[in-house]
Amino acid sequence: DAGVIQSPRHEVTEMGQEVTLRCKPISGHNSLFWYRQTMMRGLELLIYFNNNVPIDDSGMPEDRFSAKMPNASFSTLKIQPSEPRDSAVYFCASSFAQKNQPQHFGDGTRLSIL
Residues that bind another protein (CB under 8 A): 4, 31, 33, 42-43, 45, 48, 50, 55-56, 91, 93, 95, 97-108
Question: Are 93 and 106 a contacting pair, CB within 8 Å?
Answer: yes
Report, in Å, the least distance between residue 62 CB and another protein: 20
Residue 18 to residue 64: CA distance in whole angstroms: 9
Q: Which is nearer to another protein, 18 or 41 (CB)?
A: 41
Q: Give the count of beta carbons closer than 10 Å to the beta carbon of residue 12.
A: 11
Q: Which is nearer to another protein, 71 or 100 (CB)?
A: 100
Q: Which is nearer to another protein, 4 or 67 (CB)?
A: 4
Half-sphere exposure of 83 (CA within 13 A, CB side): 6
